[in-house]
Structure 1
Amino acid sequence: MNIEEFFELSAGKWFAHRTYTDLISKTSEEGKSELIIKSLPIDHPGVIQVCQKYQFDPKQATCSAKLYWDDITKLNQKKTGSMIIVLIPSTESPLLGKFLHQIPESNVSLHLPGSYKIGEDEALTLYVRVGNTYLEERLWFASPNLRMRVSVAKNAGGVSYTSFTSEIRMSDVTTK
């Protein structure tokens, strides 16, 4: 599977169930959310803006998407948001590349792109550094309608949190 096929398979509306563990405070929580992944054309204004932010030519991008989430924790606190992601393949291998992203509502300013890798097992691994924290997220399909995700955050003190998410496709059609 290449990155384009991974994103084509990811497009749609998903129900996500996440378990999050903070290893520093030794607390866990769970959350449920609706996730919508919609492919964007490379000439979309949001894609162009993300590429310019990271100083990449949008013509280098191989695929892009907008993710919307509506997260309801067990405490009934509603968290919604969106993110645009753009993937630029490496000239050395189509299984490696740069991961560009922008969360419009976030105050976090990222100056360095992340990276991605498609493994022999067809799992997508994303690597991102935010300040002194290194984030790694691995995504794979158990079936076309069941996607899994594992995230780990590391800093100088070691692993600070981890999460596991299962995502079940609700529909192929996005409406946003």
Structure 2
Amino acid sequence: MTIVDFFQQSAGKWLSQRTSQNLSSMQSVAGTTDLWIEPLGADDREVVELQSKYGTDPALFQCGARIRWETKPTLDNRKESGATILVALGSKDSPQEGKLLQKSTLSPTTVGASRYTIGTDEAVTLITESDTMYAEERLWFASPNLRLRTSFIKHNNGTNLASFCSEIRMGNA
């Protein structure tokens, strides 16, 4: 599997069921979110802007996606929504590794970059690091319409979060 294959297989509408655990306070939170994943080409305005902001070589472009999300309201939380633009850039050294640029509507002036690797088990691992945190997320398909995701986030202040998501394809984007 390549990153392009992964993005193409991820396209569509998904129902995501998430359980998160704050490992420091031992608090658990569960929630449900609708996701819409739409492929973006190299000529998409937001893709071009994000690559320009990072000064990346357009020849390294592999694929892009717009991910829109909307949480389902619960007794404790109100409905929230947002979107993220992702741009996958390949590595000159390995087709199974690269960089993932991202921009979120939650913080439109903040852009970020992660590293991705694709294992022999066809799982995609994303690693994001900053001065204040380390995050590792692993995504894989159990079947064409069932995607699984785990993540671990470690903050410098001692807070550690772990989560598991099962995502069921509900249709086309």
Contact 1:153–1:162 at 8 Å: present in 2 too?
A: yes
Match of 2:56 in 1: 56
Give the distance between the partners of 1:103 and 1:31, measured in 2 at CA. Answer: 20
CA separation in 2, counterparts of 1:47 and 1:2? 19
Determine helix, strand or coil for the equivalent of 1:25.
coil
Separation (CA, whole Å) in 2 of partners of 1:107 and 1:22: 27
Distance in 2 (CA, whole Å) between partners of 1:10 and 1:33 is 15
Gap regions ≥5 residues in structure 2: none
Cα-to-partner distance string for 1:56-102 (whole Å, 9 max, x where unaligned): 13332100000000012532411100000000010111000011000
> Percent identity, aligned pairs only?
41
TM-score by length of 1: 0.91
CA 1:159–1:125: 2 relative to 1, 3 Å? farther
Report the number of matched residues. Answer: 172
* Cross-structure match for 1:71: 71
Tell me how far apart the structure 2 counterparts of residues 108 and 44 of structure 1 sit (CA, whole Å): 19
State how far apart, in whole Å, the 2-side matches of 1:73 and 1:31 are. Answer: 8
* Larger mean Cα displacement after TM superposition, 139-148 or 64-73: 64-73
Q: CA RMSD in A?
A: 1.7
Q: Which runs of 5+ in 1 are unaligned?
A: none
State the match for 1:142 in structure 2.
142
Q: TM-score, normalised by structure 2?
A: 0.93
Instruction: Kindly provide the CA deviation profile for residues 24-43 of structure 1, in whole angstroms up to 9, marking residues without a partner as x.
Output: 22211101010000000111
